[in-house]
Chain A
Amino acid sequence: MDTEKVSTLTGSKGGSDRLESVISGSILFFLVIIGILIFFQQFRYDEDKFSASVIQPGSAIDTTASSSEAKVSLKILGLEPENYISMSDLESFDQYTLSDKINGKADGYLASGFVQLVCTRFVHSSNQENWFEFFLYNMGFPRNSFSVYSKQKREGVTEQDFTKFAYSTENAVFFVHGKYYIEIVAAVEDEAVIQDMILMAKNFMDKFPGGTVELPELEYLPADNLDRESLSLILNNGFGFKDFDNIFTGTYRLEGHRILAFVSLRETAEEAESLAIAYDRFLSEFIGQERLEPERDQIPGVKIADLFGEYEIFFVKGNVLAGIHAASDKAIGEEIAFQLYTRISELVK
């Protein structure tokens, strides 16, 4: 009896053992194959992928970019104004090497969808001190390029009208052209050089037409008292809240106060509503807000929080989440919030 039972068990275990062996053998076989592939692949280390590349004029291929990007890179050469000549090689940087060019500023670009930077310098043919560098950032999408443009925008600048989003400072020109964010930085402070750089900017736009940047959310911000220079786009982690993405902001100046208004267009009204609830919970759990009542009952469902003497005011209208961030004065914050609500109501039914 015992012998029979043992035989039966052994027989069934034998089949199981064979199955285990086949599975184990297969796994080991694949691991060996993977190991062999890794072994041979490691001898094919491509240093170009981890260091800046120099694009030689006339070369057909830029190893760090798609062929269309390579063409864009090379076409920068020749766009310089008259009396300027190329001063340096055309350099190209990708996600892995961007910090080799701009060091600690790289993170901001990488978080905003950075694809590639191409840059080169041009010098005046009769004055070696007079040179400028052209930085062409491919940010992937117009929203991304507007975001890095707006986040770095300086105060007290001269707005330029050669395109929708452009300005100049004492020595530099900055603008957005479609998916490109462009900086042209001079080594001298000279209005004539600024004009030369604007000319190159126009040459670039002529060479690469179709660089319009459509940002319909900006229309939701009422024009009265709005500082248009302050318009900005926060792509992610807005106001320290991880779920806040695609937040457009603008600063209003009213009665000596600077009030930051924000607008975010969501896919659906339900999404806007749930995001508002999540933000309210975030303020409550992590910042310890004190909930306040509105002084006037004009915005349905408005939420107001006192954050250590600054006021967070926000509401949902249709698929738009909007509000005021860190207002220094509650009454003025509510005033701007009401104007914002009125404007959005005109556009969202």
Chain B
Amino acid sequence: MNTVIKHGKISRRRFINRLIKAGLSIAGAGALGYFFYDPVGPSGSLEGELVSIPDFSMPRAGKKMAVVRGSVRKETLNRAFKALGGMESFVKKGDRVLLKVNAAFASPPMLSATSHPELITACIDLCYRAGAEMVRVTDNPINDPAACFRLTGIEAAVKSAGGELVFPRDSLFRRTTVKGGSLITNWPLLFSPLEGITKLIGISPVKGHQRSGASMAMKNWYGLLGGQRNIFHQDIHNAIKELSMMVRPTLVILDGTTSMMTNGPTGGSLSDLKNTDTMIVSTDQVAADAFGCSLLDKEVRDLPFISKAAEAGSGTAEYESLKPIFI
């Protein structure tokens, strides 16, 4: 009896006994939790290995940027590429090109919430003239994809220019983790349209954004993500930084012909827009955004994601260092 409790104190044997039981209980609870742990969530799947987007940048082409003033998209785009040595400097004979457009909303082209169909047509045409074997266009819109591609005029534009439009569907998504990132981990990525591609071009409008301050070239890659991606709005600047780390494009086309100054990113009224008559083409997505923010009457310091992306090595926020060609 005195081996159990002596003078009100627990015995060594009983203490060890209880310790072992408590340890087993904790371990059991942990094992049970691990058994039920679902890293994917209710609608996800974990098929195959994690994928990464290949690096489509062209270091040999160097860091280049052209800024062309004008109100006709086809003209300003042609002049911008002419200043950069032609589309042939970037797209070679036999290249397979993917245009990542912004078709986020089922909204008419005149509201400038999405990539303009005239610009997409002109870009596809330039790619084919440069010798591209195939030009593919895709996006994973916020709204219903069929309505988005149709009402934005993008579907008709792609068809008329001989491009291939890829609608997002579950089977086209794979999982990705951004190397060095902490937000985009094991996340669904619209990957299949990128397979077999040799050049990647982003085409995006210039828009104010109530959460991030602006939606331009880097934010455009948000449209490659799937899943409940709106959670990234909780840490939007770091999320955009990671998007810039996730995608190394051949070049970006930032359309500031009309900029959405207020009520972005959806807008809804022509009075939200301002004719800023500027087309930006750049091999450096960070530099493009650094210049693009001036169209929204903002400075780089107003948009923390630009500096964050620059610090992450995605490009330079000092666009002047690229010696941009202004026309």
| A residues neighboring B (CB under 8 Å) | 2-3, 5-7, 9-10, 13, 35, 39, 45, 47, 50, 88, 99-108, 133, 152, 154-157, 169-172, 174, 183, 185, 187-189
**A103 touching B142, Cβ below 8 Å:** yes
Distance, CA A39 to CA B36, complexed state (A): 9
> Contact: A99 with B230, CB < 8 Å?
yes
CB contacts (< 8 Å) of A133 on chain B: these are 106
With beta carbons under 8 angstroms apart, the residue of A5, A102, A169, A188 that contacts B269 is: A169
A156 lies within 8 A of B271 (CB): yes
Q: Are the C-beta atoms of B142 and A171 separated by less than 8 Å?
A: no
How many contacts between A and B, using CB within 8 angstroms?
95
Nearest-CB distance from B107 to chain A (Å)? 8
CB distance from A123 to the nearest CB of B (A): 10
Q: Which of A10, A103, A157 contacts B265 (CB 8 A)?
A: A103
**Contact residues in A for B215 (Cβ distance below 8 Å):** 104
Which B201-240 residues have C-beta < 8 A from chain A? 209-212, 215, 228, 230, 233, 236
In the A-B complex, the 4 residue pairs with the smallest Cβ-Cβ separation, listed nearest first, are A187-B108, A99-B230, A104-B211, A154-B271
CB of B104 within 8 Å of the partner chain? yes
Please name all residues of chain B whose beta carbon is closer than 8 Å to the beta carbon of A39 when the two chains form the complex. 36
Interfacial chain A residues near B108, Cβ < 8 Å:
187-188
A155 to B106, CA, bound (A): 25
Whether A169 lies near B230 (C-beta < 8 A) is no
A-B contact pairs, 27 of them (CB 8 A): A2-B2, A5-B7, A6-B7, A13-B5, A35-B32, A39-B36, A47-B42, A99-B233, A100-B142, A100-B230, A103-B105, A103-B230, A103-B265, A103-B266, A133-B106, A154-B269, A154-B271, A169-B270, A171-B111, A171-B269, A172-B268, A172-B270, A185-B111, A185-B269, A187-B108, A187-B110, A189-B270
Do A170 and B6 touch across chains, with their CB atoms under 8 A apart? no
Q: Dominant SS at the B interface?
A: loop
- The distance from the CB of A223 to the nearest CB of chain B, in whole angstroms, is 26
Query: Do A105 and B271 have beta carbons less than 8 Å apart?
Result: no
- The minimal Cβ–Cβ distance linking B215 to chain A, given in whole angstroms, is 7
Report yes or no: A106 in contact with B230, Cβ–Cβ below 8 A.
Answer: yes
Residue B147 is within 8 A (CB to CB) of chain A in the complex: yes
In the assembly, what is the distance between CA of A124 and CA of B211, in Å?
A: 35
In the bound complex, residues from chain A placing their C-beta under 8 Å from that of B318 are none
Beta-carbon contact of A183 and B268 below 8 Å = yes
Q: Do A170 and B269 touch across chains, with their CB atoms under 8 A apart?
A: yes
The reply to whether A170 and B264 contact each other, CB–CB distance below 8 Å, is no
Asked if A104 and B264 sit within 8 Å, CB to CB, the answer is: yes
B164 contacts chain A at the CB level, 8 A cutoff: no
List chain A residues, Cβ under 8 A from B147. 88
Q: Decide yes or no: A6 and B6 within 8 Å by CB, A103-B142, A106-B230, A156-B271 being known contacts.
A: yes
Residues on B with beta carbons closer than 8 Å to the beta carbon of A171: 110-111, 269-270
Q: Does B143 contact A (CB under 8 A)?
A: yes
Chain A residues with CB below 8 A from B43, complex form: 47
Contact A9-B264, Cβ < 8 Å, known A108-B210, A189-B270? no
- Beyond A185-B269, A187-B151: 14 further Cβ-contacts under 8 Å? A3-B2, A5-B7, A6-B2, A6-B7, A47-B42, A47-B43, A50-B228, A103-B266, A104-B210, A104-B211, A106-B233, A155-B271, A156-B271, A174-B269
For A7, give its contact among B1, B7, B210, B228 (CB under 8 Å).
Answer: B1
- Give the interface centre of A104, A106, A157, A183 by most chain B CB atoms within 10 Å: A104
Tell me the minimal C-beta distance from B25 to chain A in angstroms.
9
Flag if B271 contacts A6 (CB, 8 Å). Answer: no
- From B105, B110, B143, B271, name the one whose CB has the most chain A CB atoms within 10 angstroms: B271
CB distance B143 to A172 under 8 Å?
no
B233 touches A10 (CB 8 A): no
B104 touches A103 (CB 8 A): yes
Q: Which of B4, B5, B105, B271 sits near A169, CB closer than 8 Å? A: B271
Q: Say which residue of A6, A99, A189 sits within 8 Å of B110 (CB atoms).
A: A189
CB nearest neighbor in A for B211: A104
Interface 1/0 per residue, B65-105 and A, CB below 8 Å: 00000000000000000000000000000000000000011
Contacts of A108 in B (CB 8 A): 210
Cβ-closest chain B residue relative to A46: B42
Question: Bound complex: CA of A87 vs CA of B36, how far in Å?
Answer: 45
Pick the contact of A170 from B5, B7, B271 — CB < 8 Å? B271
CB distance from B101 to the nearest CB of A (A): 16
Task: Check B5 against A104 for contact (C-beta < 8 Å).
Answer: no
Tell me if B262 counts as interface (CB < 8 A to partner A).
yes
Interface centre among B111, B143, B263, B269 (most CB of A within 10 A): B269
Shortest beta-carbon distance from A159 to chain B in Å: 13
B272 touches A154 (CB 8 A): yes
A104 engages B269 (CB within 8 Å): no
A104: which B residues are within 8 A, CB to CB? 209-212, 215, 233, 236, 264-266
Is B48 interfacial (CB 8 A cutoff)?
no
The yes or no answer to B196 lying at the interface (CB within 8 A) is no
Shortest distance in angstroms between B155's beta carbon and chain A's nearest beta carbon?
A: 14
Is B62 close to A, CB under 8 A? no
A343 to chain B, nearest CB (A): 30
